[in-house]
A and B are shown apart, each in its own frame.
Chain A
Amino acid sequence: MARFSPENVQRVRDMMALYPRPRSAMIPVLHLAQEQDGYLTEEAMVHIGELFDITPAEVYGTASFYDMLFREPVGRHLISICTNVACMINGAYELVDHAEKTLGIMADTTTADGEFTLEEFECLALCDKAPCLTVNWRFFGPVTNQDFDRLVDDLRAGRLADDVPPHGTLCRVRRTVGLPAEVPFPGRVGDPMKKPVTDESSGEAAPGTTKPPVDKRTPGERVADGEQPAREGVVPQMDESAAAILHPEGTDTGPTAGGSRAGGGT
């Protein structure tokens, strides 16, 4: 299997219907392809291109940016060992050495039986349990050499199947609720995501789901206090006071600087 199954095509359409512009569903859909096939096959990327009405090259171009999307086969269990600072100073590289010996492979390769892929990874945000690792993004830590061997045995024997789904399955909980994402408005000029979405198409995009009908009110009318009128394709202007706050002189405290990429944009 490589193109999406009919059931998964429906899931793709449901995901697309959640967003004002369907292209926003790209990453969740790429994950879905991995859930179906274990990794991103060429056929899946071609199919995604058809569903999003973009070229396969653009799908590939997007996918290749992200570390969790694999364009070649990986094992059923992807073991990612964090080697960033907090883990490194707590023995992460020694753990990688041990893992390589135990599995009989080098990092970034897969065992011959297709069970395990081992990779060195960046900070997994479990630094109080260093050294830590994830198996298919499920967390374990702190991990000693003995823990690692036991973990591998348990995974091989299927004893952790409830906790660790096969590689590619990220979220086992399905969204069961929600308004369809509202509204059509023209794309930005020059935006490759071009096509304005219409109410009709977003309505069609989710057949068979339990969503309520599309709200025909304009977004402005839906705001409780009703003070902001609906405007389409607005390019709002920044006033001077906003500009002054946005560019505090010589500081790093503006929203554009400091550690804002640190998992926080505040």
Chain B
Amino acid sequence: MPVTDVQPIVTARLGLPESWTLKTYVDNGGYAALRKALSMSPGAIKDDMLSASLLGRGGAGFDAGKKWSMLAKGQPSYLVVNADESEPCTFKDHMLIEGDPHQLIEGTIICAYANGVTQAFIYVRGEFALGVERLTAAVNEAYDHGALGRDIFGSGFDLDLVVHYGAGAYIVGEETALLESLEGKRGFPRIKPPNFPAVAGLYGCPTVVNNVETLSYLPWIVLHGGSSFSQMGEGVSAGTRLFSLSGHVNRPGNYEFEWAKATFRDLIEHPRLGGGVRNGNQLKAIIPGGASSPWFGPDKLDMALQHDVVQKAGSMLGSGSVIVMDETTCAVRAAWRIVKFFHRESCGQCTPCREGSGWLEKIMMRIEQGSGREEDLELLLDVCDNISPDITWPPKQTTICVLGPSIPPAIATSLDMFRDEYLVHIKEGGCPFD
């Protein structure tokens, strides 16, 4: 294992022959953690989770153990696994679902047991057809194995698990929109408060919502203890973490390593990780945590990939997706594409986001195509300001959910770093990279 010698956890079984089958899973230690968990009290598992200090891996970076502890008492309560991965350039859950579905199922059962839930759902992104098939087959196998259904492994604990699939909508990854969609409706995010899932989630009942990667760590944590997990990494950036590396690198891919012990440079240049920028080109910019995060320049290369460090520097690791852009990339075009994405995916409930994203896309397009005006640069920021007042980080919002405030960072930071490039587009009437 590069960087530190810590062994991978969630990706340990990937690459084994037919890693998605029950046989491979059980042959490699699968479902042992569940047996152990069922012999523990739910409270003991929750304590283990708190000591693990496992930050949710979906993007918001909220401590999963704390999230569980906020679950309101009341029955029925539900567990919903957020497998609707669609943040641009994030592809870790996709790999975990297809490659090791039983690990996710085992984590899901442990989570349900710890939280006293008897009905769980895995909401899989509709586009992951193979993932839906493998998960469905794995759930069938798990029932036959006695790991799901009535009286799991003779413990008296019952759990039903349904593999549910969506139909293509980025916003459904937002947890309240996910629940709305799981209720069979348009994926509109709900207003919070009062609709915090832990209190009023699915069908208005207390609901735990956890991400795929987060739950995939659970079997390991139960087997080895929460403190073994939090001993790895640094502070709140505990354990190992999966990073999705894409863009202009020689070896794009998902890499799991001890969190907070590597820098952006390690991730991009290490021969067993990114392997350097392609063609030996100069690095131009990094998007450190998915399309919603503010960009970094090459000056941040030696920054640790660490939750609070990146946060303090004005961006976020988000869903763990690092996008690398080399010198051949047009910053205006890249920012335009991100804005176009948000425009397309805005659910349309809130005016600043619905209208603002469209205006921003049009203004960005006209700059890219050479019909921009110098005043457009101020206009861009003015529209951004309407969506996210003062364009600060972390962002403020004028909208129900955080899709809206995710639009300004790409524009504001690219404009800040590459203002000259915007001006060249305007003055020369076209894109210098065409």
Known: A88-B334, A130-B246, A266-B210. A27 touches B184 (CB 8 A): yes
Residues of A within 8 A of B203 (CB): 20-21, 185, 187-188
Tell whether, in the assembled complex, residue A228 and residue B129 are in contact, meaning their CB atoms are under 8 Å apart.
no
Residue of B nearest to A192 (CB): B185
Tell whether, in the assembled complex, residue A263 and residue B252 are in contact, meaning their CB atoms are under 8 Å apart.
no
In the bound complex, what is the Cα–Cα distance between A177 and B140 (angstroms)?
6
Known: A137-B129, A264-B60. A20 touches B76 (CB 8 A): yes
Tell whether, in the assembled complex, residue A236 and residue B199 are in contact, meaning their CB atoms are under 8 Å apart.
yes
Residues of B within 8 A of A236 (CB): 72-74, 199-200, 206
The answer to whether the Cβ of B93 comes within 8 Å of any Cβ in the partner chain is yes
Tell whether, in the assembled complex, residue B143 and residue A178 are in contact, meaning their CB atoms are under 8 Å apart.
yes
Tell whether, in the assembled complex, residue B136 and residue A264 are in contact, meaning their CB atoms are under 8 Å apart.
no
A104-139, CB < 8 A from B: 122-130, 134, 136-139
In the bound complex, what is the Cα–Cα distance between A130 and B116 (angstroms)?
42
The answer to whether the Cβ of B386 comes within 8 Å of any Cβ in the partner chain is no
Known: A26-B184, A176-B140, A252-B395. A265 touches B209 (CB 8 A): yes
The answer to whether the Cβ of A145 comes within 8 Å of any Cβ in the partner chain is no
Stretch at the interface among B79-87, B220-228, B374-382, B424-432: B79-87
Tell whether, in the assembled complex, residue A172 and residue B133 are in contact, meaning their CB atoms are under 8 Å apart.
yes
Tell whether, in the assembled complex, residue A173 and residue B137 are in contact, meaning their CB atoms are under 8 Å apart.
yes
Residues of B within 8 A of A224 (CB): 38, 42, 113, 116, 155-157
A167-221, CB < 8 A from B: 170-179, 181-183, 185, 187-188, 191, 193, 212, 215, 218-220
Residue of B nearest to A258 (CB): B60
Tell whether, in the assembled complex, residue A125 and residue B91 are in contact, meaning their CB atoms are under 8 Å apart.
yes
The answer to whether the Cβ of A51 comes within 8 Å of any Cβ in the partner chain is no
In the bound complex, what is the Cα–Cα distance between A236 and B72 (angstroms)?
6
Tell whether, in the assembled complex, residue B160 and residue A179 are in contact, meaning their CB atoms are under 8 Å apart.
yes
Least Cβ–Cβ distance between B38 and chain A, in angstroms? 8
Residues of B within 8 A of A252 (CB): 60, 316, 394-395, 402
The answer to whether the Cβ of B30 comes within 8 Å of any Cβ in the partner chain is no
5 pairs, A vs B, C-beta closer than 8 Å: A23-B184, A220-B75, A253-B60, A255-B175, A263-B125
Residues of A within 8 A of B130 (CB): 138-139
Taking Cβ atoms with an 8 Å cutoff, the residues of A that contact B are 18-21, 23-28, 30-31, 52, 61-63, 65-69, 83-86, 88-90, 122-130, 134, 136-139, 170-179, 181-183, 185, 187-188, 191, 193, 212, 215, 218-220, 222-225, 227-231, 234-238, 242-243, 245-246, 250-266
In the bound complex, what is the Cα–Cα distance between A215 and B169 (angstroms)?
35
Tell whether, in the assembled complex, residue B169 and residue A66 are in contact, meaning their CB atoms are under 8 Å apart.
yes
The answer to whether the Cβ of B94 comes within 8 Å of any Cβ in the partner chain is yes
Known: A28-B164, A252-B60, A257-B394. A170 touches B118 (CB 8 A): no
Q: Select one of B62, B134, B167, B290 contacting A253, CB under 8 A.
A: B62
Least Cβ–Cβ distance between A94 and chain B, in angstroms? 12
Tell whether, in the assembled complex, residue A28 and residue B165 are in contact, meaning their CB atoms are under 8 Å apart.
yes
Q: Select one of A85, A129, A254, A261 contacting B62, CB under 8 A.
A: A254
Known: A20-B203, A62-B186, A231-B75. A261 touches B174 (CB 8 A): yes
Residues of A within 8 A of B337 (CB): 83-85, 88
Tell whether, in the assembled complex, residue B70 and residue A27 are in contact, meaning their CB atoms are under 8 Å apart.
no
Least Cβ–Cβ distance between A28 and chain B, in angstroms? 6
In the bound complex, what is the Cα–Cα distance between A31 and B165 (angstroms)?
9
Q: Select one of A127, A139, A227 contacting B246, CB under 8 A.
A: A127
Q: Select one of A137, A228, A242, A253 contacting B127, CB under 8 A.
A: A137
Q: Select one of A67, A212, A218 contacting B168, CB under 8 A.
A: A67
Residue of A nearest to B169 (CB): A66
Residues of B within 8 A of A18 (CB): 162
Residues of A within 8 A of B196 (CB): 238, 242, 246, 255-256
The answer to whether the Cβ of B385 comes within 8 Å of any Cβ in the partner chain is no
Tell whether, in the assembled complex, residue B42 and residue A225 are in contact, meaning their CB atoms are under 8 Å apart.
yes
